[in-house]
Amino acid sequence: MHIAYKKVILGILAITFSITTAVAEPTAPPLSDRAIRVWTTTDGLPHNSVNHITQDSQGYLWIASWEGPVRFNGRSFQLFSQATGLPDPGSLYVAENPFTKQIISTGTRGGVSYFQSSPTGGHWLPQPRVFDRVDYALFTAPKCTWYGTVNTGVIRECDGTRTQYTETEGLPSATVLELEQDHQGRIWVGTDEGAAYYDAGQDVFRTLEQLPNGYSFGIVAAQDKQIYVSLDREIFVVDSEQLTVSKWPTRYPSTITELYQAPDATFWVGTHEHGLTRLTDATPQMMSVATGLPNNHILSIFMDREYTLWVGTHRGLVQFRQAQFHSHRAEDGLGYDYVRAIAETADGTVLVGGLGGVRRIKNETVLPLETTSKVINESILSFAIDREERLYIGTFTNGLYILENGQQIAHYNEMNGFPGNDIRGLLLASDGYLYAATSVGVLRSRINADGTLQPPNYFGADDGLPDEIIYAIHETHNGEILIGSMRGLSRLNNGQIERIDVSSVSDAEFIFGFYENTSHIYVASDRGLLVHTKGKDVWQLFDDDNGLPTIKFFDVTLDHEGNLWLGSGRGLVYIAAKDFDIALNDDNPATPLPHIFYDNHHGLASAQINTGGPPMLAARDGDLWAATSRGIGHYIPAQSATIRQTPPQPVIEQVTADGRAISPNTYLDATTRRVEFQFVGLGYQYPESIRYRVQLAGYDQDWVEPTRSQLNVSYTELPPRAFIFQVQTAYPDGEWSDAATFTLHKLPTLWQRPSIWIAVGLTLVLLFILGLRLRVYSVTRSKERLQHLVREQTKTLQKLAHQDSLTKLANRRAFDELLRQKVAQHGGQQPLALILMDLDHFKEINDRYLHTTGDQVLRRVALIIRESARESDMIARWGGEEFAILLSGAHAASLDTICERIRKAIMQADLHDLVNNLVVTSSFGGASYIPGETAASLIRRADKALYSAKHEGRNRTEIAPSDE
């Protein structure tokens, strides 16, 4: 039966079932405790239909696709098409022969080919063609393989002899869908008209009366010694010894297309129209398009050695991995991505608020908020819950809602006497008042007994606040109200506003979040974490001087173990309680803080933690929740502790000498100039974050860590001797793996060989003076050449260490060194100025036009800046879309003019060759050097000016005052 015909039959079956049986689609995703990732053709996958998945002994994943067999190393897909020698390059099945370790790929026209791996890349060995399209291969002995075909039954090939089995030999049908060998050694066959097993004594296939006819895509010889057989939408369990049959109690909503038991003993069921689920005896909880799958038709399921689950669909390769975090996103039922506020009700339900309204999460299931209030679809900024479980909800544009038991009991906004429609934070204080952080100051309103509010009053600039844009509000244990605004930290005590001066430790202005325990108050700011020790009444600052990866934090909280969590726009920072206690009690303000930085690679769909009221929650059950720009991140400590952090397996994929692939223990000619090693870590939990370190023993004195994107290293002009190249891998914060090694030898030139030394010695006896001069000359020339090569290599390495690879400008490291030197050497005779600039809304360019276009824009902007500056000006890529320019001399005196010239040049740049009608704008912050100030101070003032330019609307220049 042709595949097109099979699809028609499956479609008819699915339609019939949908008419005759009403199946409610479950809402709880079965894999919500894992991070999900999808690869499609846009990510390099040759074809979106993933017919089969396996893993070989080295650790590579292999994928059968319609374009051919594909090898995946976690970073890139390598397609083998014509090289297989198949009549048609499309691959339907791929697996490793457990006896020979060869990879087999089968095709649509009966083609079978074996891949033999080798250090130089490997090669394919086409086999004699099987009668018909081969959908499955089963290896039962070193020289015995069974093939399942789509029209001509089962083909057994042993010692080169092929035997065919069809309906005549007892098969229910010649259309074979599955092959399996049970614990008794029996061969089982699944067909489009039922399942059968092979009777070796009679050389025929037999069926069991208890098994009905139907599509049998899945047969599993399970770890419990039973045989699980899928037939249409049902599963039957066969006792492997007695061959008795029992029916599994669960019926699935459409035809089962894949049945798989993972190494951890979990059974997975894939269906034709409803996605994926675990095998249970309860109502199946389907993972489908509605909950994150790219397609509901499951073609293949596989779990690798890291216990990562892979699923093949018609729309890409899906990975479900155990990670420290997972995210509930728009496609997982949340309905929107941008989350701003989180709260927890008395029954442990987590409330989620963001750009799309309010949702609830209970037992990993996203549910609607049961209410008729319009707040359900408002843009939410903040939550508060009182003792009666009344819910106070602050919105972005429509004021404050109050709900009780799902019913709206009040709505306050500018229309009824509550100015400031954006409610950024809410506080139900012990004094009986509700306090709210708004854009017009701090709202205070007496709470009535029924939860409604009395007319409010406001605290603003006239009352002593530094400004009226309020981000956070907190009641301390002694009843003071702490207020975080855009211009600093204040307290409200007995009706009076007082500024809290932290200038002795920080120039922080934006105050985003608070947390308090018995001994400390923690404050998240734009310049680090501020901590107030109550007993000593002192403030401390923790920022990049302590090794933290960023200094702008939007919220802070402690979990139930006392560990510290900081939310930033780049991810979450975790600091163990014991490490933070050490830093708190250390007089050195630069005490290093051991930490873990959680970002996208740890399972967060987005590493951008948002501001909100509040954006982080340490729930009563110990879980941590974080509001991000792509859903709500969820951390389960107990699950995180069980994640296997076995180091990825390092593999040296290829070694070339002057461009020619070589094998281990190769002897290189003395003229060989360049040897390159290509390697990869075969780990799939977060492959982009795998760390590497390499060493060429006999040349390198110590391990060298290349960047995580660099998967090759090269050496030139190696001296004659034996070398061992070693590479190790590790996940972030994980242990290093054992080393993969590659040995090679470089032969000496003739004059370096002992036999030649003896001959030269005899010659020197006869021609002492001439031989001596020739020897000295040869050694001198060799020494000069080697010294020259060393100098050139040193220059190259120094350039790479101080150059941004994308824009070819100086990198931040080089710029910081120059700035410190300039400031240290500055005598005040010549002006000195610093410009920091940032491309406006650059993330939108990356999101809309992809990162390749974004990279081209960065290169073009770097060229514009270079053309607008003098040769004496230092230009650097500061990081991401930020650039820095150091001006000196008369040029620095024209700081504002130079900023405006560059800004206009960028805005007017013709970028139509990249994207039609693309206009890029930028914001500039400049600061002139004040004699006596430090480099850090100059950077801080320029950064502050840049922040002001962005806040005032972007595409403008702000110059820092010289009297700060």
Helices then strands, counting H and E runs in the chain, come out as 10, 68
Max mean pLDDT range (83-87, 239-243, 313-317, 633-637) = 313-317
Q: What would the mean pLDDT of 261-282 be, rounded to a whole number?
A: 93
Mean pLDDT of 693-718: 92
Q: Residues 529, 565: contact at Cβ < 8 Å?
A: no
Give the residue carrying structure tokens 């894939």. 270
- Let me know: does 607 contact 578? Beta carbons within 8 Å: no
pLDDT at residue 24, rounded to an integer:
34
Mean pLDDT of 397-411: 96
Give mean pLDDT, residues 387-392. 96
Higher pLDDT among residues 853 and 20, named by residue: 853
**pLDDT for res 308:** 92
Give the single-character DSSP code of 870: -
Beta strands 50-55 and 316-321 are unpaired
Nearest residue to 194 (alpha-carbon basis) of 167, 168, 221:
167
Residue with more model confidence, 764 or 691: 691
Question: 153 and 171 in contact (C-beta within 8 Å)?
Answer: yes
- What is the average per-residue pLDDT within 574-583? 95
- CA separation for the pair 172, 195 (Å, rounded): 7
pLDDT of residue 873: 85
Identify the pLDDT of residue 26: 34
Quick check: 309 and 34 in contact, CB under 8 A?
yes
pLDDT band of residue 964 (cuts 50, 70, 90) is low
Question: Per-residue pLDDT for 245 more than 90?
Answer: yes
With both helix axes pointing from N to C terminus, report the angle between 768-801 and 754-766 in degrees, rounded to the nearest 10.
140
Question: Could you give the 3-state DSSP secondary structure of residue 491?
Answer: strand
Q: Are 525 and 510 in contact (CB under 8 A)?
A: yes
Q: Is the pLDDT assigned to residue 963 strictly greater than 80?
A: no
- pLDDT tens digits, one per residue of 97-137: 999 999 999 998 999 999 998 877 889 999 999 988 999 99
| Closest C-alpha among 250, 314, 237 to residue 286 | 250
User: 602 or 17: which carries more pLDDT confidence?
Assistant: 602
Tokens found for residue 736: 């290093």
How many C-beta neighbours within 10 Å does residue 428 have? 17
pLDDT of res. 756? 59
- How confident is the model over 923-948, as pLDDT tens digits? 999 999 888 888 888 899 999 999 99
pLDDT at 4 over 50: no
Q: What is the arithmetic mean of pLDDT over 691-709?
A: 92
> What percent of the chain is predicted at pLDDT more than 70?
91
Q: Is the peptide bond before 614 cis (omega within 30 degrees of 0)?
A: yes
Which tokens in the block code for residue 3?
A: 């595949």
Task: Taking residues 312-340, report their average pLDDT.
Answer: 90
Q: Are 422 and 395 in contact (CB under 8 A)?
A: yes
* Range in 518-532, 627-641, 776-790, 794-808 with the lowest mean pLDDT: 776-790
The pLDDT of residue 32: 59
Look at the chain and count its residues.
964
Distance (Å, rounded) from C-alpha 901 to C-alpha 254? Answer: 65
Average pLDDT over residues 489-499: 93
Q: Coil, helix or strand for 357?
A: strand
For every residue of 656-722, DSSP letters joined together read EETTEE--TTEEE-TT--EEEEEEEEE--SSGGG-EEEEEEETT-SS-B---TT--EEEEES--SSE
Residue 873 phi, psi (nearest 5)? -80, 140
Quick one: tokens of 674? 């360049």
**Which of 308-317, 356-365, 506-515, 888-897 has the weakest average pLDDT?**
888-897
Q: Listing from the earlier edge strand, what are the strands of the sheet with 134-141?
A: 134-141, 144-149, 154-158, 161-165
Q: What is the pLDDT of residue 145?
A: 96
Residue 900 CB contacts under 8 Å (≥ 6 apart), including other chains = 924, 957
How many CA atoms lie within 13 Å of 722's alpha carbon, on the beta-carbon side?
Answer: 6
Q: Per-residue confidence at 829, pLDDT binned at 50, 70, 90?
A: low
Q: Is the pLDDT of residue 28 over 70?
A: no
Report which of 720, 721, 691 is spatially closest to residue 601, judged by C-alpha positions.
691
Residue located via tokens 């991401």: 880
Distance in angstroms (rounded) separating the CA atoms of residues 230 and 801: 59
Q: What is the mean pLDDT of residues 952-956?
A: 93
In this structure, of 13-27, 226-240, 667-681, the range with the lowest mean pLDDT score is 13-27
Q: What is the 3-state secondary structure (H, E, C) of 525-553?
A: ECCEEEEEECCCCEEEEECHHHCCCCCCE
Owner of token pair 């020979």: 100
Cα gap 212→225, rounded to integer Å: 22
172 DSSP 8-state letter: S
SS3 139: strand
Judge whether 737 and 730 are in contact, CB under 8 Å: yes
DSSP letters along 876-930, please?
EEEETTEEEEEEETHHHHTHHHHHHHHHHHHHT---TTTSTT----EEEEEEEPP
User: For 312-334, what is the mean pLDDT?
Assistant: 89
CB 320 within 8 A of CB 312: no
Matching residue, tokens 């370096």: 752
In sequence order, the β-bridge partners of residue 484 are 472, 489
Neighbour-count burial of 781, counting CB atoms closer than 10 A to its CB (0-12 exposed, 13-18 middle, 19+ buried): exposed
* CB count in 10 Å sphere of residue 640: 16
DSSP 239-287: ETTT--EEE-S---SS-EEEEEE-TTS-EEEEESSS-EEE--SS----B
The sheet that has 391-395: what strands, in order across it?
380-385, 391-395, 400-404, 407-412
Residue 244 has pLDDT above 90, yes or no: yes
Q: Which two tokens stand for residue 282?
A: 């309860």
Q: Among 387-401, 514-528, 767-781, whose mean pLDDT is lowest?
A: 767-781
Q: What is the 3-state secondary structure (H, E, C) of 593-660?
A: CCCEEECHHHCCCCCCECCCECCEEECCCCCEEEEECCEEEEECHHHHHHCCCCCCEEEEEEEEECCE
Q: What is the pLDDT of residues 846-897, one digit of tens each?
A: 888 888 889 999 999 999 999 888 877 889 998 889 999 998 877 777 889 9
Read off the pLDDT of each residue in 621-629 and give the average, rounded to a whole number.
Answer: 95
Mean pLDDT of the chain: 89
Question: What is the token pair recorded at 4?
Answer: 């097109």
Residues 6+ apart with CB under 8 A from 110: 87, 129, 130, 131, 132, 133, 134, 149
Kind and range of the H or E run holding 503: none
State the catalytic residues.
Answer: 881
Per-residue pLDDT, 711: 94
The residues near 20 (Cβ < 8 Å, ≥ 6 apart) are none
Contact of 856 with 846, CB cutoff 8 Å: no
**3-state SS string for 923-935:** EEEEEECCCCCCH
Name residue, tokens 């480099």.
935
Gap between the Cα atoms of 653 and 677, Å rounded: 8
The pLDDT of residue 90: 93
Q: What is the DSSP string of 52-70?
A: EEEE-TTS-EEEEETTEEE
pLDDT of residue 783: 62
How many Cα atoms occupy the beta-carbon half-sphere of 935 within 13 Å?
A: 13
> Measured on CA atoms in the order 617, 621, 622, 625, is the torsion positive or negative?
negative
In this structure, are residues 409 and 450 in contact, taking their beta carbons and an 8 Å threshold? yes
Please give the Cα distance from 244 to 863 (Å, whole number): 76
| Mean pLDDT on 385-403 | 96
Q: Provide the percentage of residues in the chain whose pLDDT is more than 90.
A: 70
Beta strands in 266-370 (DSSP E): 267-271, 276-278, 298-303, 309-313, 316-321, 325-328, 339-344, 350-354, 357-362, 365-368
Angle at 943 between CA 551 and CA 800, to 5 degrees: 80
- Dist CA 73 CA 56 (whole Å): 11
Kindly report which listed range (177-191, 703-717, 747-761) carries the lowest average pLDDT score.
Answer: 747-761
Name the least confident of 82-86, 688-692, 795-799, 881-885: 795-799
Q: Given this model, what pLDDT does residue 731 score?
A: 86
Question: What is the per-residue pLDDT for 2?
Answer: 37
